[in-house]
Amino acid sequence: MSGVKALNLAQSYPVGRKLFSKPEVFRAVDTVTLDIAEGETLGIVGESGSGKSTLGRMIAGIETPTSGQVSFWGQNYAPVGTKEWRAQRRWVQVVFQSPASVVDPRWSVHAQVREALTAHEKLAPSEADDRAQDMLDMVGLGPMSHRLPHQLSGGQLQRAVIARALVLKPRLVVCDEAVSALDVSVQAQIINLLLELRERLNLSMMFISHDLSVVRHISHRVGVMHRGQLLEIGESTALFEAPKHDYSRRLLAAIPADTPRQRRQRDLQNFAAL
């Protein structure tokens, strides 16, 4: 199968223990099974603490599940930290919420994109420079490539982080609240950029967010998480128009309706589901 498949993924963390009793654990992700096809964007929504970011880290191969497994284009992830795992890491990249926390303030954005490339490939200096610059051009930062991070706006810095991730030509990109810290107008620009890059580079994406409107716009399919469980997953339009689970209906009801007509339709659907 081309793409990513997760089977019965679970993740538990110890939260302390009482005297003469077994250690207590918190089950952050509880037996989740899903797949992401080649070129597809799977959106994951849920409230804070629902387990969506933990699920994303396991799908990205940067956190080992307590149980279950992830296969990446037919190959299981190697144990975290091994030589084989480091080789696999170039094929899956993560874009986090705060770009300022994942860049080196002393290096230009060109140098950081170039360094990500040369860490995984043996290239002549001129070729590495050209590929880094081509990637920065692709995300709209060509004229700003030699600026330092503090000389860029939040949206520009997120473009630089996206360039650093995509210069390695990954198959999968996990976006974990990648636009939530940006202004609404800048969010739209970054989402449109991701849509353009997805088509141009045939990327598979996992887009994690609490912003349901953004998820609906970018995703082919959407999964709803609550208390570590994947309650339902389905085609984006179908799920937003007719969610099957009570929690999903409550979650979607929080999205502001664009028109009074949409509000009445939603009220009728919620009433019919009672």
pLDDT in tens, 187-197: 999 999 999 99
Q: Please, what is the end-to-end C-alpha distance for the chain in angstroms?
A: 39
CATH code assigned at 42: 3.40.50.300
Q: Are residues 17 and 37 in the same domain?
A: yes
Q: What is the pLDDT of residue 263?
A: 47
Q: Are residues 17 and 75 in the same domain?
A: yes
Q: Are residues 187 and 52 in the same domain?
A: yes
The string of pLDDT tens digits covering residues 43-63 is 999 988 899 999 999 999 999
Q: What is the pLDDT of residue 225?
A: 94
- 27 band by pLDDT with thresholds 50, 70 and 90: very high
Please check the confidence at residue 270 and state whether its pLDDT lies above 60: no
Q: Are residues 148 and 252 in the same domain?
A: no
The string of pLDDT tens digits covering residues 117-156 is 998 888 899 999 999 999 999 999 999 999 999 999 999 9
114: left (phi over 0), alpha (psi -120 to 50) or beta: alpha
Q: Are residues 186 and 264 in the same domain?
A: no
Number of H helices, E strands in the chain: 10, 10
- 256 band by pLDDT with thresholds 50, 70 and 90: low
Q: What is the pLDDT of residue 170?
A: 94
The string of pLDDT tens digits covering residues 156-213 is 999 999 999 999 999 999 999 988 888 888 999 999 999 999 999 999 999 999 888 8
Q: Are residues 253 and 271 in the same domain?
A: yes
Provide the 8-state DSSP code for 27.
Answer: E
Q: How many CB atoms sit inside 10 A of residue 128's CB?
A: 18
Q: What is the pLDDT of residue 23?
A: 76
Higher local confidence (pLDDT), 49 or 230: 230
Number of domains present in the structure of the chain: 2
Query: What pTM was estimated for this model as a whole?
Result: 0.87
Give me the percent of the chain exceeding a pLDDT of 70. Answer: 91
Q: Are residues 125 and 223 in the same domain?
A: yes
> Which domain does 250 fall in, by range?
243-274
